[in-house]
Structure 1
Amino acid sequence: MRYLPLTDTDRGEMLAKVGAASIDDLFVDVPEEARLRGPIEGLSMHMSEMAVERHMRALSKKNLAAADAPFFLGAGAYRHHVPATVDHVIQRGEFLTAYTPYQPEIAQGTLQMLFEFQSQVARLYGCAVANASMYDGSTACWEAVAMATRVTRRNRAVLSGALHPHYTEVVKTMAKFTGDTIADSLPSMEATPDNAGLIARIDDETACVVVQYPDILGRIPDLAEIAEAAHAKGALLIAVNTEPVALGAIKSPGELGADIVVGEGQSIGVGLQFGGPYLGLFAVRDPKHVRQMPGRLCGETVDAEGKRGFVLTLSTREQHIRREKATSNICTNSGLCALAFSVHMTLLGEKGLRQLAAENHRLACKAADRLAQVPGITVLNENFFNEFTLRLGRDARQVVRNLADKGVLAGVSLGRLYPDHQELGDALLVAVTETTSEEDIETLASALEGELA
């Protein structure tokens, strides 16, 4: 039985209240070509359970899974080995919920896990306080910008051209509703990040400067230099990290002067999963900013008997306080993904994370050296962790498509990320992790040699 509690009269009153003539008016912002105009093609209106399973299995075989081909995709989502222990723990009955419990008296284990998760993120980012996770890296990036405008009482954000364009678009979309000014640009296709150009864009009205570390081209910017310039103008530095494994090899953003550090936690404990769910990380370097943080924090306390306990605290979300007073209106806690992150990080430990980072970098250097030998290819980067940019001298999108047809997932073309900018069309972003074999590297090099000949 379908559950439809609203009558036509109810719907009519609701539409009138928001000024819409029909329900279709609520979807005007969805592009016409993205709207479903009828039943899904290939599925009849009535099928048996077994028939549906058979049909869905056939559809799934059209996918090329990351583990079934040489895989070099990155650009914010990375293939890493996730130990079987992670899945075992997160599927235990006492943990299997994707949401934060509100009843601390029956959820001490989950709250303790989140407390420890916060401690891990704060240590990883070089910050004083981290929250109990967010949706994903891109929305965490916007939340950081919104927080900076509250702290500085300014409304201009300067975005590095080398910030992931999807993160940039999320920030710009949200800023339409807040009136904040977003100053963005395109990435400079140089071997090293254009710190001087970014610093020149900071003025006395700037609330924050947003820098990706490592950036969208895989380069590692000098955060300390940018932090000094931002602070001189009274602005905050927001560092965005999409590959947390990198922080096992390079200095933490907080250590280099970043005021707010956000990022994507998917690399640790969370699989690629066709794009989600993922895990947003958020931390601040100075404890004085903690009350302006979005989301929720888990705190440690003692009960009436003096025993250690854990509670949700500083829950300044719109469902807890008046919407106009909330520090966030879009964030939540990705509890199950946070648990996966915490379990994997616990299994690694500091030494294991450093070893994992070293292996990623070793294989990436080996891949860059081999691909640089392919005629027609130039490696852009001077410095990188496990991701670097190639210039192919021809449309990288077509190269990626051709190699995918041959069973090689060669990387992410900048033409796909920046479809309106032809000058970036020959650039290919290649990611290498511990799951990449030396045979995979040779397969990619041979495939590119054949494609570019």
Structure 2
Amino acid sequence: MRYLPLSLQERDDMLLRIGAAAIDDLYADAPRDALLKGPLDLPLRKTEPEVERRLAALAAKNVAAGAAPFFVGAGAYKHHVPATVDHLIQRSEFLTAYTPYQPEISQGTLQVLFEFQTQVANLTGMEVANASMYDGSTATAEAILMAHRVTRRRKALLSGGLHPHYAETARTLSDMAEDEIAILPPDPRASEDLIGALDSGLSCVVVQNPDFFGNLRDLTPLAEACRAKGVLLVVVVTEILSLGLVEAPGTMGADIVVGEGQSIGNGLNFGGPYLGLFATREKYLRQTPGRLCGQTVDADGRRGFVLTLSTREQHIRREKATSNICTNSGLCALAFSIHMAMLGETGLKQLALINHANAVSLAEALEKTSGVEVLNRSFFNEFTLRVKGSAAQVVEGMAERGVLAGVPVSRLLPKAGLDDLLLVASSEVNTDEDRAAFVTALTEELRA
């Protein structure tokens, strides 16, 4: 019992109180095949130095993102984060103010979140933005729930170009709420007819731009068609840096814009924590989930900042809450805001131009490679290749040649019959030598 906080008697008392005969009864609803049939194949005990050595040996088998030419994307992107960002977010006034419930001691955090909201609103072309959400996928699910509240309809239509993880998150929450979701088939060439699929029973249409396969779309016609039927248009942006060049979703007519902010100020971090972005039109402000910081003046007329809207269930009655899942990612939002302030409008556009140019350069080189087809007509810094054979095997072979080539579509869409498709992202961290190594390794692998 050395490492367990409760005695056997205390555990038995708790089981008796809740009416369970044994611990196993607590897992009655779990699928049988998901439960372990016995203990894990691990030694019963090891010393701390032994465990550290074992874990270090296992870690040494990995190839880190910075240890090889890196072209992996699919919703999480490797960008350079200036050292200034990490230095500033560790200042004590930010590290100690976890949640800004008490404005009198959280002015630094509240001001940053207010400025973050302004940055996100400007970036997305919307009128208001909240103080962030957990990540892009949960922000997307929250947008669908918000659209249901606004329209009083309970059905959403999801584009086949939406990231599979985002679609699954939305499906999970919709199943729990007994809402209806229609998801169109995966669409590598962005040829789906979303306008033709509209009907007046929909609360919203969810479309990603650039989409999961890297395609860029003009969403203006879709926005007009949605407006005619009283359907909200939700636009998802997983590569937020693209908005340094691409027309803002709000300008194209979006009603709600959500996205993943990881690309700015935040590293890959093994998949998290990340930063959900959420922006909308002012008329929908009171249906917005999460927190929203506002600017005011104190009794002496001095500028100050407060939580203007905070309608999660931890603040108000659960049935009245606009969100039962998301609060905000304060430290990640701070990193985003610092990096954005460092870049400025000119720097953001220049960084986006470098990303696009790098991707175009790689795509043009690959188009000359035998056995390779670039599927996209237009893209930002990510595109889809059709390769000869299995894309997953190609990725494994290229990794053995020292290049982390991208994400096989089959990894995220295993049942879609798209085993020969490979997602490739090229950002500002890739050099001419990296791209040449990619082409060489792919050529050798396809010949093998």
The two structures share one fold, judged by TM-score above 0.5: yes
| 1:367 maps to which of 350, 362, 367 | 362
- The equivalent of 1:194 in structure 2 is 191
Name the amino acid aligned to 1:334.
S
CA distance in 2, matches of 1:92, 1:37: 47
Name the amino acid aligned to 1:262.
V
Deviation at 1:39, TM superposition (A): 5.1
Which deviates further from its counterpart, 235-244 or 179-188? Answer: 179-188
Q: Any conservation in 2 of the 1:98–1:335 contact (CA below 8 Å)? A: no
- The equivalent of 2:235 in structure 1 is 239
1:403 aligns with 2:398: yes
Name the amino acid aligned to 1:433.
S
Q: Which aligned pairs between 1:125-274 and structure 2 lie closer than 5 A?
A: 125-190=124-189, 193-194=190-191, 197-274=193-270
| 1:349 maps to which of 341, 344, 353 | 344
Q: Any conservation in 1 of the 2:209–2:237 contact (CA below 8 Å)? A: yes
Deviation at 1:388, TM superposition (A): 0.5
- CA pair 67-31 structure 1, distance change in 2 beyond 3 A: farther
CA distance in 2, matches of 1:79, 1:345: 16
| 1:306 maps to which of 301, 304, 320 | 301
Structure 1 unpaired stretches of 5+: none
CA distance in 2, matches of 1:334, 1:114: 10
1:297 aligns with 2:292: yes
Q: Any conservation in 1 of the 2:153–2:203 contact (CA below 8 Å)? A: yes
Deviation at 1:313, TM superposition (A): 2.1
- CA pair 408-33 structure 1, distance change in 2 beyond 3 A: farther
Question: What SS does the aligned partner of 1:318 have?
Answer: coil
- The equivalent of 1:449 in structure 2 is 443
1:47 aligns with 2:47: yes
CA distance in 2, matches of 1:299, 1:135: 20
Name the amino acid aligned to 1:231.
R
Q: Any conservation in 1 of the 2:186–2:416 contact (CA below 8 Å)? A: no
- CA pair 274-308 structure 1, distance change in 2 beyond 3 A: same
Deviation at 1:107, TM superposition (A): 1.0
| 1:376 maps to which of 371, 378, 382 | 371
- The equivalent of 2:65 in structure 1 is 66
1:318 aligns with 2:313: yes
Q: Any conservation in 1 of the 2:366–2:372 contact (CA below 8 Å)? A: yes
- CA pair 281-398 structure 1, distance change in 2 beyond 3 A: same
Q: Any conservation in 1 of the 2:138–2:276 contact (CA below 8 Å)? A: yes
| 2:425 maps to which of 426, 431, 442 | 431
Q: Any conservation in 1 of the 2:136–2:259 contact (CA below 8 Å)? A: yes
Name the amino acid aligned to 2:301.
G
CA distance in 2, matches of 1:4, 1:127: 51
Number of equivalences: 443
- The equivalent of 1:3 in structure 2 is 5
Deviation at 1:221, TM superposition (A): 1.4
CA distance in 1, matches of 2:103, 2:54: 44
- The equivalent of 2:331 in structure 1 is 336
Q: Give per-residue Cα distances to partners, 1:361-404, cap 9 Å, x unaligned.
A: 01100000001111011110110000011111311111111212
Q: Give per-residue Cα distances to partners, 1:151-188, cap 9 Å, x unaligned.
A: 00001100000000110011111111111110102222
- CA pair 184-97 structure 1, distance change in 2 beyond 3 A: farther
Name the amino acid aligned to 1:248.
G
- CA pair 21-224 structure 1, distance change in 2 beyond 3 A: farther
Question: What SS does the aligned partner of 1:428 have?
Answer: strand
Question: What SS does the aligned partner of 1:253 have?
Answer: coil
Q: Any conservation in 2 of the 1:97–1:335 contact (CA below 8 Å)? A: no
Q: Give per-residue Cα distances to partners, 1:192-224, cap 9 Å, x unaligned.
A: x225x1111110101000000100110011111
Name the amino acid aligned to 2:327.
T
Deviation at 1:91, TM superposition (A): 1.3
Name the amino acid aligned to 1:427.
L
Deviation at 1:450, TM superposition (A): 1.1
Q: Any conservation in 1 of the 2:138–2:166 contact (CA below 8 Å)? A: yes
Deviation at 1:12, TM superposition (A): 3.4
Q: Any conservation in 1 of the 2:15–2:23 contact (CA below 8 Å)? A: no
1:287 aligns with 2:282: yes
CA distance in 2, matches of 1:27, 1:400: 40
